[in-house]
Amino acid sequence: MPLTSFEIEYAQKVLGRKLTKEELILLEAEWSEHCSYKSTKEHLKKLKTIAPWVLIGPGRDAGAIKLFEDVALVARIESHNHPSAVDPYNGAATGVGGIVRDVLSLGAKPILLVDALYMGSLKTRHSQWLATNIVKGIGDYGNRLGIPTATGLTWFSKSYEKQPLVNVACIGLTKPERILSGKVKPGDPIVLLGNTTGRDGFLGSSFASKPLDEKDIAAIQVGNPFIEKLIIDALLDAFDKNLLSHVKDLGGGGLGTAIVETAAQNKVGVTVYLDKVHLREPDLEPFEILASESQERMIVIPKDSNRLNELFKIFDKYEIEYSIIGHFSSEKRVKMFFKNRSVVDIPVELAVSPPRISRKVSAPVSSFEVPFPTDVDIEKTLISVLSSPRVSLKKAVYEQYDWGVGGRTVLPPGYGDSAVIWLRDGSKRGFAVSVRGNPRYVKLDPFTGAALSLGDAYRRVSAVGAAPLAALDNINSGNPEKPNQHYYTVKMIEGLAYASEILNLPIIGGNVSLYNEDEKGSMIDPVTSIMVIGKIENITKALGVVPVGDSPLVLIGKTEPELGGSEVQEVILGDVYGRPPVFRADTEKKLASFAKKVSEKELAYAAHSVSIGGIAVTVSKMAYWGNVGITLNSLAICECSPFEALFSESQARILYEVKPESLQEFLSLAQSYKLKASVIGHTLRNEKTIRVQHNGKEVIRLDLSKVSESLEALEKTL
Amino acid sequence: MSIYKILLIVSYKASARDPEGETIAHELKSLGYKEVIKVRVGKAFFFDIEAKDKEEASEKIKKIAFETKLHNPNVHDIMVISIV
Amino acid sequence: MSRVAIIKYPGTNCEEETLYAIRNASKLDGRIVWHSEFKMDEWDAIILPGGFSYGDYGHAGLIASWSKASNEIEKAFENDIPILGICNGFQILTEIGILPGNLLYNESAKFIARWIRVKVHNPKGPWLSLIEEGAVLSMPIAHAEGRYFTDSPENVIKKPWMEYIENPNGSIRSIAGVAEKDGIVLGLMPHPERASFPWQSPRGFEPGGRKIFEGLGVSLKRGW
């Protein structure tokens, strides 16, 4: 997005002269929403980011926690929404490429990818085309890197028909003392590594900071996962040999941004010779070189310039191109030259300090309640809910992802509430990851909606037996210049701040994607994706979702008739009304400690957090996964109507299949945590039906084959 | 109406990168095929299609390719070749 | 101690877990060897692990087969050194021509990653030495180009081979793995290194790859 005339005047006043073309381009990238967070910075300060185990909080290219005394876990999440709307295949693929390079930038080995996709109805050719290509793009790129995509979230709604949201996250591992310091000093040479620089992807970051326009299609980048894989392998070799002090992705804003941010963080200046950059087209202009967003490029700063040859030997082995393009300096200015001509000469401070702007917010009119029709057929409703693309199985998506490469995947997609990943280091230690987001709850109440997603991911990580340690957020929202849209951004951040504080879960990184509007300037449904990471001492005790049968089903947590923003509401009424479920922080916390104990003591066969679609969906999926029948007593779930009992989306609930011999111990454990525990039914090995009783009357009797057919609905459309 | 054979080739626009073509060209050169200057990779579709004449057959293919997104006009070029 | 070479090409990505299985399931010494530095006479067994050598560009295994490592692999083949090709490694071995047939794009035209089961027929040789006739092994598959094709499947199934219980990709005769030289050379699409420890397999599946690695460990010590 071009600088405003106010911003240009501000810069020229500071400099006391006119900006050069190159300076203008540099500031345009630096001061874009994507790089400067100018509309959200003041709000993001409210997030809880500190805990004793946090090694690196927000601010660097990725965050890091001490997972174990000798293991650091590095993570980052980012959106690639705008590029994916124009070229879904390459847009999504290059999103993966960028996030992996961010994790590399702390010196970690990337070992897990996670995606959160919000796509269209799948009822139009366009939304099918977008969805198919986004999934293929993520798969083709991630699979080639040898990094498993082992968990994710896939949402479908007509709000995303033409503007999908593509959020991708990456997790890496290293030793705490091996995290790159990021420190550079005057005199350090700057090495540009990777792909040649070309005209492709020119000014993509400002492209991500404004509403989509057909003209922007010049900014298309084709991903090259093969080069990315070579960069990963080469950098891991260089990390092993302790050759590097700083590595940074050339992402939004290209070379200019990466260099300026490094200089600013280190309070040094920088001199760059743009004609030293290895180019794809020889006739590139200097402004194009500094702002090009050609993919698969990084800057690397050697720890010791006397060992440059060792570094270059590694790059030569992998046949990756590189060039020395300049050095850091003590004069705190950004200086760029092209063929001996000065093209940029501005203070570093100016480049990273856009003039303050203040954005206004205005609350929308509050939503109203709409009752359900009185004659709803509960069995037919269940079938409709199970075949809704949001609920039905995502095999068509995750089977295209290599979720198992690395040999670390203990609970692959479809087997657990979170991905459970083994460190594969001779021990049985590991970690769990879940990503959640719910545009419906956000639509009704952005504060609660964001908090609920954090609670949901926190609970899913707990359900497998992990101890939640950190979260990352990706806010996808509307135009910050429009107060009624910016309201959602600010409220989601506030909801996150509240929830992270009360759950004692530091947020170690995040991303804000704004200007997600349709061609008419209306906001598409905003949402915050939350990824939660937890640690597991013994992955062999991780609890999956597959039941074994002939065992009691125990629901932990309280069910209230909460149907606002629910799946059943959207399926029956076509939209959402009222208030989302209450965020029950206290129960969530107790539940998390309880769940960890259950897995440690091995009291249960299976655990499944109750999510969209309520208990009805929870039991149907468990029946499907275990190929078992299930019988339920609706009144044991809730003293309410069977409709409410089955479809309520009350939070802070986990359904367990408990080992019959451990039932007493399980129930007393729940009691000791002051958690409500109700035996609501049984799993059955020999009877392949789902039966629900209410007051002695059978309200549902559904063959497992019918359940399977409904749950597999998505495979036919995607 | 008769049946025409049409070859549709979808490849990246000249302004876009083609990682597959670039890699193949690079490896061929290092094998010793120095005469190889450049490789571009595309996807080929062989159609048998009913039309009045060759020209109409080609036009129909272009239309189908566009409407069904066999190619993404934002990033791809197409070649439509009538074959005998 | 016997030494196993795990050959890495640009784009290979399963070398580390394969090495882990060699060390912890086969109890053998192993090394990851860069393709251009590979010399066959330094090794007691050779594994071509999975991944996307050269990005699968052209088609899977094609460009890797141009590597000078191919000459060494052919020499190893002539010298009866055990060779295992897993997934992309299998694709490369068929491209080099020491295993019969080809691996084409999946029938679904999509990448498929899922747990599957294979039945082992005519088990012979170092890799299958601990496996009984008709044994069923579970392992994950993860490939886009895994549809096995040959003009003469009848020749393949006379030798040691693996059969998908449920054909995931349209392979002819449900062929998941083939062998030459009485099983000294084996290629398979499923990933045994991802099924070598009990916690790698979710409920309903067993770590079916472990016996392949254990078999190699035993065979290199006692013969096969």
With contacts defined as CB-CB under 8 Å, which chain C residues touch B27?
Answer: 54, 63, 66
Measured between beta carbons, the chain B residues lying within 8 angstroms of C57 are 19-20, 23-24, 41
If one counts every other C-beta atom within 10 angstroms of the C-beta of residue A280, the result is 15
pLDDT of residue A493: 98
The phi and psi torsions of C32 (rounded to 5 degrees) equal -90, 125
Query: Mutate which of A90, A144, A293 to test chain B, going by most B C-beta atoms within 10 A?
Result: A90
**Do A613 and A686 fall within a single domain?**
yes
pLDDT of residue A203: 53
Please give, rounded to a whole number of angstroms, the shortest distance from the CA of C10 to a CA of chain A. Answer: 7
pLDDT of residue A207: 47
Give yes or no for a contact between A597 and A514, defined as CB atoms under 8 angstroms apart: no
**pLDDT for A200:** 76
Which has the closest alpha carbon to A63: A99, A113, A106? A106
Spell out which residues of chain C touch residue B70, defining contact as CB-CB under 8 Å. Answer: none
Residues A266 and A376 both lie in one domain: no
Domain limits for position A322:
1-27+180-353
Dump pLDDT digits (tens) for C25-71.
Answer: 999 999 999 999 999 999 999 999 999 999 999 999 999 999 999 99
Query: Residue A215 and residue C124: Cα distance in Å, rounded?
Result: 63
User: Over the stretch A292-311, which tens digit does the pLDDT of each residue have?
Assistant: 999 999 999 999 999 999 99
Of A230, A400, A416, the CB nearest to C111: A400
Nearest CA in chain B to A225: B19
| Chain C positions in Cβ-Cβ contact with residue B24 (cut-off 8 Å) | 57-58, 63
Q: Is C114:A401 a contact under the CB 8 Å cutoff?
A: no
For residue C175, give how far its alpha carbon lies from the nearest alpha carbon of chain A (Å): 20
Q: How close, in Å, is residue B49 to chain A by CA atoms?
A: 23
Query: What distance in Å separates the CA atoms of residue A182 and residue A644, rounded to the nearest whole number?
Result: 54
Interface of C with B (CB under 8 A): 54-55, 57-58, 63, 66
ipTM above 0.95, yes or no: yes
A582, two tokens = 């209450």
H-type alpha helices, A539-662: 567-573, 585-601, 614-626, 634-637, 642-647
> Could you give the residue ranges of the DSSP H alpha helices within A146-253?
204-207, 225-240
**Selection from A387, A482, A399, A478 nearest residue A439 by Cα:** A478
Closest partner residue to A200 among B17, B72, B74, by Cβ? Answer: B17
Whether A394 and A260 map to the same domain: the answer is no
Contact A410 C199 (CB under 8 A): yes
**pLDDT number for residue C29:** 96
| Per-residue model confidence (pLDDT) at position A201 | 64
A312 and A397 part of one domain: no
Looking at the fold, whether A318 and A396 belong to one and the same domain comes out as no
Tokens coding A194: 């990777």
Nearest residue in chain B measured CA to CA from C55: B20
Contact B74 A89 (CB under 8 A): no
Query: Chain C residue closest to A545 (CA)?
Result: C203
Residue A472's contacts (CB-CB under 8 Å, 6 or more residues apart) are A63, A75, A76, A77, A169, A507, A508, A509, A510, A530, A531, A533
Name chain A contacts of B22, Cβ cutoff 8 Å: 224
CA distance C114 to C111: 10
CA dist., res. A451 & res. A438, Å (int): 10
Instruction: Please judge whether C11 and A144 are an interchain contact, meaning their C-beta atoms are less than 8 angstroms apart.
Output: yes
C57–B31 CB contact, under 8 Å: no
Residue C193 annotated as catalytic? yes
**CB-CB: which of C55, C58, C66 is closest to B19?**
C55
Of C14, C87, C121, C145, catalytic: C87
Residues of chain C scoring pLDDT < 50:
none
- Which chains pack against A, by 3+ Cβ pairs within 8 A? B, C
Give the pTM: 0.96
Q: How many CB pairs under 8 A join A and C?
A: 102
Chain A residues in contact with B68 (beta carbon < 8 A): 125
Query: Cα(first)–Cα(last) distance of chain A, in Å?
Result: 35
Residues A568 and A631 in one domain: yes
- Is A278 considered catalytic here? no
Residues A270, A389 share a domain: no
Residues of A in contact with B18 (CB under 8 A): 222
Q: What does residue A614 show for φ and ψ, rounded to 5 degrees?
A: 70, -165
- A361, part of any domain: no
Query: d(Cα A186, Cα A270) in Å, to the nearest integer?
Result: 8
Domain check: are A574 and A684 in the same one? yes
Mutation target for A interface from C86, C106, C200: give the one with most A CBs within 10 A: C200
- Selected for mutation to probe chain B from C53, C57, C67, C95 (highest B CB count within 10 Å) is C57
The CATH fold assigned to C3-222 is Rossmann fold (3.40.50)
Q: What is the CATH number of domain B2-83?
A: 3.30.1280.10
**A428-457 pLDDT per residue, tens:** 999 999 999 999 999 999 999 999 999 999
Which residue, chain included where needed, has tokens 């997005």? A1
CB contact under 8 A, C63 and B27: yes
Compute the Cα dihedral for C78, C80, C81, C86 and give only its sign: positive
CATH number at residue A703: 3.90.650.10
Q: How far is B30 from chain C (nearest CA, A)?
A: 10
**Owner of token pair 């849209």:** A485
Indicate which residue of A34, A82, A246, A682 is catalytic. A34
Structure tokens, A319: 């046949």
| pLDDT value at residue C222 | 92
End-to-end CA distance of chain C: 17
Cβ of A199: how many Cβ atoms within 10 Å? 18
The Cα of A140 is separated from the nearest Cα of chain C by a number of Å equal to: 8
DSSP A67: E
Judging contacts by C-beta atoms under 8 Å, the chain A residues touching residue B76 are: none
Test the C interface: residue of B24, B28, B29, B39 with most C CBs within 10 Å: B24
Contact between chains at A125 and B69 (C-beta distance less than 8 A): yes
Question: Are A267 and A388 found together in one domain?
Answer: no
Residue C157 C-alpha, separation from nearest chain A C-alpha, in angstroms:
29
Is position A34 annotated as part of the catalytic site? Answer: yes
B20 contact residues in C (CB cutoff 8 A): 55, 57-58
Closest CB from A87, A125, A224 relative to B72: A87
* Minimal-distance CA residue of chain A relative to C23: A426
Q: Is residue A628 part of a domain?
A: yes
Are β-strands A333-338 and A269-273 bridged in parallel, bridged antiparallel, or unpaired?
parallel
Minimal-distance CA residue of chain C relative to B18: C57
Give the gap in angstroms from C-alpha A660 to the nearest C-alpha of chain C: 18
Question: Which segments in chain A show pLDDT lower than 70?
Answer: 1, 201-220
CB C220 within 8 A of CB C1: no
Tally of structural domains, chain A: 2
Chain A nearest C-alpha distance from B17 (Å): 6
With CB atoms and an 8 Å threshold, state whether A89 touches B17.
no
A466 token code pair: 């992990």
Angle formed by the axes of helices C15-24 and C210-222, to 10°? 60
A406: contact with C, CB 8 A cutoff: yes
Phi-psi map region of A193: left, alpha, beta (phi>0 left; psi -120 to 50 alpha): beta
Residues of chain B whose C-beta is under 8 A from some C-beta in A? 12, 15-19, 22-23, 68-69, 72, 74-75
State whether A619 and A678 are in the same domain: yes
Q: Is residue A562 part of a domain?
A: yes
Strand partners for A509: A472
pLDDT of the residue at A202: 63
Please tell me whether residue A90 adopts helix, strand or coil conformation.
Answer: helix
Chain A residues close to B15, C-beta within 8 Å: 199-200, 218
Domain positions in chain C are 3-222
Q: What is the DSSP string of A1-60?
A: -PPPHHHHHHHHHHHTSPPPHHHHHHHHHHTSHHHH-TTTHHHHTTS----TTEEE-BTB
